[in-house]
Amino acid sequence: MLTSIVGINWGDEGKGRMVDLLAESQDIVVRYQGGNNAGHTVINDKGKFVLNILPSAILRDDKVNVIGNGMVVNIEHLCGEIAKLREGGINISPKNLKISDKAVVCCPFDVMQDCLEEDRLADRKFGSTRRGISPIYADKYMKKAIRMGDILHPEYLRSRLETIIEWKNLTIVGSYGAEPYTVEGMLDWFKQFGEPLKDYIIDTGYYLNKALDAGKKVMLEAQLGALRDIDFGIYPYTTSSNTITAYGPVGAGIPNRKVDSAIGVMKAYSTCVGEGPFTAEMFGEEAEELRKAGGEYGAATGRPRRVGGFDVVASRYGCMVQAASEIALTKLDILDYMDKIPVCVAYEVDGKRVEEFPSGEALNTAKPIVEYVPGWHCSTANCRKYSDLPKEARDYIEYIEKAVDCNIKYISVGAERDAIIIK
């Protein structure tokens, strides 16, 4: 049985929180794309954790976690993340963590290149997380990346580094005038942060195929959401990988498998980090109030998130491209304070009402058509059954369900593991 947990919106929907909860019934959780630009916040009986590279089931003792081939792994960051979790009492060993030999390594020169480019762009910047993600994905497709499996073969690693560093310095030194990287310096880095990971590196594709054949339950955990997908998102303000369900089996190393069920995690309102078109955006006091209520500051970067009302156009599109079978609606409790709840029901593009998510300049110029639905004015944080929710909250959920044409099965009313309603 193969299930995916994916984001319907711009990311930060609360996927980590849902994976932490739903992993209970799974055997293995796999991250299939992205790197340490992710920030999945999980709060459970063991404490509060922010996960960047590790799958969110790492907090459960009896689950196996896999870093798939579609990921880009900053090994220095991963070693730090593992050490921090161990300090928090989490057990991590090759038994519960497996790293694909085909995942590529995000190196210090990728991080440097990312920072140099954002600095060069200055006020035209993309809002990169400055973690080297786009340079390393570009390296991968230019076939100039180190893969995790290369760490197991020191002579081969050296020869790859010689080729790659010579090429990379053409950009770092030649274009940006920064300090060159050396093969010896990078070999030291690999020794320090690659060696401790050696026992975790395997062919995770064969591992997962065997597990699925043996009847194990596997969950694919996405980073970011549909609207950040490199092909189907708000290009060029997307991430550098495919965040969608359809890529899950490829990035996990099991391209021969079909996803049985896709759980789309969707927020009860909209948030967006960084630059780019965000049609439902609210401004001023109204926005500040929602940002504060939702604690909308990036988990990986601390950046304030842009906020807006629920966006029907973007979310319906998100459900479609994610092939969502059902929805987990998160952060409903954040709307408790509102008198009336704004919903962006359609866009206006060139004076015309549009209900299909546009792209490019049409999206850049789209204006929101906003309607308001009644608020409920009471706390939903302690509701645990659908019938516990006030009528207006149920009406809101059913309204959204109809608008995006997908069944809402889970409703999250708090960050804690048990703050959930199953409808």
Annotated active-site positions, please?
12, 40
DSSP codes of every residue in 293-342: HHT-B-TTT-PBPEEESEEHHHHHHHHHHTT-SEEEEE-GGGGGG-SEEE
SS3 30: strand
Contact indicator for 207, 201 with CB cutoff of 8 Å: no
Contact indicator for 15, 221 with CB cutoff of 8 Å: yes
Give me 39's structure tokens: 């920030």
CA dihedral 10, 16, 19, 20 (to 10 degrees): -160
Give dist(CA 209, CA 347) in Å, integer: 44
Instruction: Pick the closer one to ligand GDP by CB: 11 or 205.
Output: 11
Return the axis-axis angle of helices 154-169 and 108-121, rounded to nearest 10°: 20
Instruction: Pick the closer one to ligand GDP by CB: 44 or 169.
Output: 44
Instruction: Pick the closer one to ligand GDP by CB: 238 or 330.
Output: 330
Give me 201's structure tokens: 């590196």
Q: Where are the alpha helices (DSSP H) in 37-153?
A: 75-87, 108-121, 133-141
Distances in Å between the Cα of 57 and the Cα atoms of 66, 269, 284, 416 are 10, 26, 38, 15
Instruction: Pick the closer one to ligand GDP by CB: 100 or 380.
Output: 380
Instruction: Pick the closer one to ligand GDP by CB: 145 or 397.
Output: 397
For ligand GDP, the binding residues (CB under 6 A) are 7, 11-17, 39-41, 43, 299, 330-331, 333-334, 412-415
Give dist(CA 329, CA 140) in Å, integer: 35
